[in-house]
Structure 1
Amino acid sequence: MRSGPTGGRADGMLSVLLDIAPDPELDPEALERLARHLRAEIAELDVESVRPRLGGTAPAGAKGTDAVTLGAVVVALSASGGVFTALVETLRDWLGRSSARHRVSLTIDGDTIELERATTAERRDLIDAYIRRHTGG
């Protein structure tokens, strides 16, 4: 299977599309800081790459490429070794630390999970099921 913009496996690699919609009430400076911080958190994981999705568009009022990166990011990582689980945990923690109304969608091979405004327990159960589907665990 060829890896594409919506995720997939190629050569033992997993391509995950992250669509991150920040709280629409954030000002442009806060959005820029948020984009840099989240991208840095993801880059600290054992991922192959974190790059903007080609064709992504910046949210209204956003400045610079970081806003584009935040809007749609493709993360390439090993399909084994727990890196995917670490990525999902990073996103889960990021959502939990913020009181803002952010939304995160993860897409692999056309299978999408959207996280927002769920209780911690609901979010955990949804994420755990999604991880099991894509790790065989």
Structure 2
Amino acid sequence: MWESASATGRVRDVRLDVAPDPELEPEAAERLLRRLRAELDELDVESVRFAPGAAPPEGAKGADAVTLGAIVVALSAPGGVFTSLIGTVQDWLNRSAARHRVTVTVDGDTIELEAATDAERRALVEAFVRRHSGSGR
């Protein structure tokens, strides 16, 4: 089970590899990724950043969506923040009719979120969240 960062000094990184719909123009994919990053930054997390080498130079137009699509979220709070993070990613995916895919990796454990029925996605996400939020360990 997680303890608070103030008690342990432990910060856990969660990596989100975002593969936007391949039919999107690079500029549209970049806007979507930046919007997801901004939504994640609203959560009670330590930091949200593009993975090293993932963000285009300032002012660049038409970034390659493949290189832009890695976001690292640093968490230091107990499992509730992780649950909120996954919920935010799910909401982001559900708001779009496009075929985006997000791979979430925590401590070497990975889950891939994309088009699935609500029940399938919910069951898969609930099991993943239980493994990484301290409930069920």
TM-score (norm 2): 0.80
- 1:20-99 to 2 correspondence within 5 Å? 20-56=18-54, 63-64=62-63, 68-69=67-68, 71-80=69-78, 82-99=80-97
Q: Tell me the distance in 2 between the aligned counterparts of 1:104 and 1:91.
A: 8
What SS does the aligned partner of 2:97 have? Answer: coil
What SS does the aligned partner of 2:73 have? Answer: strand
Q: 1:105 to 1:81 in 2, by over 3 A?
A: closer
User: Sequence identity of aligned pairs in percent?
Assistant: 60
Q: 1:102 to 1:115 in 2, by over 3 A?
A: same
AA aligned to 1:101 is R
Contact in 1 for aligned 2:45/2:77 (Cα 8 Å): no
Contact in 2 for aligned 1:52/1:68 (Cα 8 Å): no
Q: Tell me the distance in 2 between the aligned counterparts of 1:91 and 1:97.
A: 10
Structure 1 runs of 4+ with >3 Å offset: 55-58, 64-69
Contact in 2 for aligned 1:101/1:117 (Cα 8 Å): yes
Higher relative contact order (CA 8 A, sep 6+): 2
What SS does the aligned partner of 1:82 have? Answer: helix
- Which stretches in structure 2 are left out of the alignment for 5+ residues? 1-7
Q: Shift in Å at residue 32 of structure 1?
A: 2.2
Q: Could you tell me which of 96, 99, 106 is aligned with 1:108?
A: 106
- Which stretches in structure 1 are left out of the alignment for 5+ residues? 1-9
AA aligned to 1:85 is T
Q: Shift in Å at residue 53 of structure 1?
A: 1.4
State the partner residue of 1:119.
Answer: 117
Contact in 1 for aligned 2:79/2:132 (Cα 8 Å): no
Give the number of aligned pairs.
Answer: 124
